[in-house]
Amino acid sequence: MHVLVGTVCSGKLFFVHNKGQVMRRRSLNMPGAIVRVCALLFLAASSAVAQPVSEPWDMAQVVKVWCSGDRDARIASFQSLLEDVVEADGPARQWAANLIVQYRDGNLSCAQDTGYIPAGDQFLDVVTGNLVEVIPDDAATPFLNIPLRRALSPFASAVQLVAAEAPENRLRAAQGLARTLGDVPPTLIERIYQQEQNNQVAAVLEGVLVPALLGSGDADAQLRAINTLAGNATRKSRATLDNFLAQEPAALSGPVRTAAESARSSVHWVIQVSEAMTVAYHGLSYGSVLFLAALGLAIIFGLMGVINLAQAEFVMLGSYATWFVQEALRALAPGLLEFYLFIAIPFAFLVPALVGAFMEWSIVRHLYTRPLLTLLATWAVSLLLINLVRVTVGTQNLSFLTPEYLKSGFTVFGEFSVTWSRLLSIFFAGITLIGTLFVLYRTRFGLRMRATTQHRQMAGCVGVSTRRTDAMAFAFGSGLAGIAGLALSTIYNVNPTMGTSLIIDSFIVVVLGGVGSVLGTALAALGIGQLNAIIEPLYGAVASKVIVLLAVILFIQQKPNGLFPRKGRR
């Protein structure tokens, strides 16, 4: 411990030595605070010189309250910690911010009379400041129930806001406060807001201050708040404005009321538009999922007339290939793990493509003239694949890492927000569509495939090897299903039977789009996706399935060959 103090806090020790005996005794009386700060600095590998801690905390007491105190005692403790942090400077602030964030995130383990927080590979005893390799067996994370976490979360954000220096951390803290201010005093936020240099953080803090400003009774403050609300068109803002306007007429001055009313109507309008956009986006994202699942089928079904019931299992194989790539990266190159989704693309394509090629060679090609038998045979293959995966990997849902860049999403405007994982699936659908069109219309393989689709005998007569074209098309279609599996792995859960729910929807899309037409498939998928997204919020998910199926039946009755019927003779 002394070595630690000596190396990290040499400045401090100098200070103690120079000032002589009295100071030394004082520092020995409360070594915990100093050592803690030093240890923290050591951990952060900070080169900053330790500064004296003006307000050392009685850590034993704090830990006792945080680990087993009742709700009110804990909230009082958070409150006093926040007050101390505002008064304190540099290292003490950092120390407190780290502690409360670790506590919020469930990393504080409580033991007899002390607590531990993780510090790199080791643990820091928060009372003595010692680093230990292992924590006692009876140390346990205290359970925080929902009301406690609700009370704690704003305090943790406020402490972070005071202590953090990096703008992104301050922004995250401000956003935390924007959810709810809880028991954090608005005056503190006002003070921080006045001094805030970063525009983004200041904008968020403005929103945090709204309720306080509206309640202040000062017309200028209220106008400022209304302005903020008008610029932030959410349902929450609308509700705040509604509540504000619902006050007694005498409580509001004329200009404030007019401003609030016009802000309310503009917010309302933006919300309406953004909600419509949300529905359209949901349709687009569901449509892209359908398209990805159906595209491979469209090619196989369209070209060879083979109804491949194992298609959905190729989707599953694609997901499993992605998972194996993830696990391989985790073991071999953890640095690249974040990008496993992109590294997995070739594997997710090739593995199902090879399995598909093998299946075509061993089973399907013998049955080209007997469609009913292909139906049975491919169904058998589908069962085989499901059970093969079940026996080798297991039935449980696979755990996929959600890379940092795919977590949550962003708000476009108003209530229209977009999640990255859905955006990725739309992106994959777009790329796959372009790639497939390129292969079909710009390569010799595509030319042969189109020729074979249009007229098999004639294509054979002019020298196209229809056998080889069939095999390659089957592999290509299987590989596309694999890409779908990759894109779905961040949205749905992955298990051996994941494909079974996709296969029927895929067939509907293919038939509706016109057998063998890529653009038709895309359009049909988008159409079904949109219809679903529009009906679901109105009549529920069950009704939307029924209505969509009825609509498809009616459409097929009118146009039996789908949206884009194939030209030419069969």
Partner 1 sequence: MRRRSFMKGVGVAGLAMSAPGIILPAWSREKVKVGCLFSSSGSMANIEGRLNYVVQMAAQELNRAGGVLGRQIEVVTTDPASDWPLYGQQGRQLLEDERVSAMFGCWTSASRKAVLPVVEENDGLLYYPLHFEGEEDSKNVVYMNSPPASSVLPALEYLMGDNGGRARRFFMLGSDYVWPRTINAQLKGYLQQKWGIEPDAWQEEYVPVGHSDFQSLVNQIKSFADESGEQPIVVLTVVGNSIPNFFQEYINQGISSLDVPVLGLDVVEADLEGLDTDQLVGHLNCWAYLQNAPGAANQRFLSAWANYVQENNVPFSPDVAIDPMVSAYTSMYMWAQAAEKAGSFDVPEVRNAFPGTSFDCPSGYKIKLTSENNYVHRGVFIGSVNRDKGFDIVWQSPETTIPEPFSPYI
Quick check: 239 binds partner 1 (CB under 8 A)? yes
Quick check: 278 binds partner 1 (CB under 8 A)? yes
The site map against partner 1 for 145-164 (x = CB under 8 A) is: xxx-xx--x-----------
- Name the residue nearer to partner 1 (CB basis): 134 or 146: 146
Question: Given candidates 224, 236, 365, 450, which one binds partner 1 under the rule CB under 8 A?
Answer: 236
| DSSP-derived secondary structure letter, 117 | E
The site map against partner 1 for 399-418 (x = CB under 8 A) is: xxxx-----xx-----x-x-
Cβ atoms 382, 312 nearer than 8 A: yes
CA dihedral 283, 287, 290, 291 (to 10 degrees): 180
**Distance of closest approach, residue 111 Cβ to partner 1, in angstroms:** 18
Quick check: 530 binds partner 1 (CB under 8 A)? no
Closest CA to 517 of 453, 444, 422, 426: 453
Closest CA to 424 of 477, 488, 481, 348: 488
User: What residues between 285 and 324 interact with partner 1 by CB under 8 A?
Assistant: 285-286, 289
- Judged by CB under 8 A, the stretch of 8-16, 121-129, 228-236, 461-469 that binds partner 1 is 228-236
> Helix 10-19 and helix 21-29: axis angle, to 10°?
130
- Name the residue nearer to partner 1 (CB basis): 77 or 240: 240
Alpha carbons 382 and 366: distance in angstroms, whole number: 18
Size of the site for partner 1 (CB under 8 A): 58
**Distance of closest approach, residue 332 Cβ to partner 1, in angstroms:** 22
Question: Given candidates 62, 81, 345, 494, which one binds partner 1 under the rule CB under 8 A?
Answer: 494
Quick check: 143 binds partner 1 (CB under 8 A)? yes
- Name the residue nearer to partner 1 (CB basis): 28 or 276: 276
**Distance of closest approach, residue 391 Cβ to partner 1, in angstroms:** 6
Alpha carbons 240 and 238: distance in angstroms, whole number: 5
* Start-end of H helices in 251-404: 254-304, 311-332, 340-343, 345-362, 371-392
Alpha carbons 192 and 173: distance in angstroms, whole number: 12
Q: Determine the 3-state secondary structure of 131 from DSSP.
A: strand
Cβ atoms 293, 502 nearer than 8 A: yes
The site map against partner 1 for 173-192 (x = CB under 8 A) is: ------x-------------
Quick check: 246 binds partner 1 (CB under 8 A)? no
**Distance of closest approach, residue 142 Cβ to partner 1, in angstroms:** 10
Hey, what amino acid is at 461? C
What DSSP string runs through 261-300? HHHHHHHHHHHHHHHHHHHHHHHHHHHHHHHHHHHHHHHH
Hey, what amino acid is at 111? A
Q: Which chain residues interact with partner 1 by CB under 8 A?
A: 106, 143, 145-147, 149-150, 153, 179, 234-236, 239, 275, 278-279, 282, 285-286, 289, 386, 390-391, 393-402, 408-409, 415, 417, 419-422, 491-498, 500-501, 533, 536-537, 540-542, 545
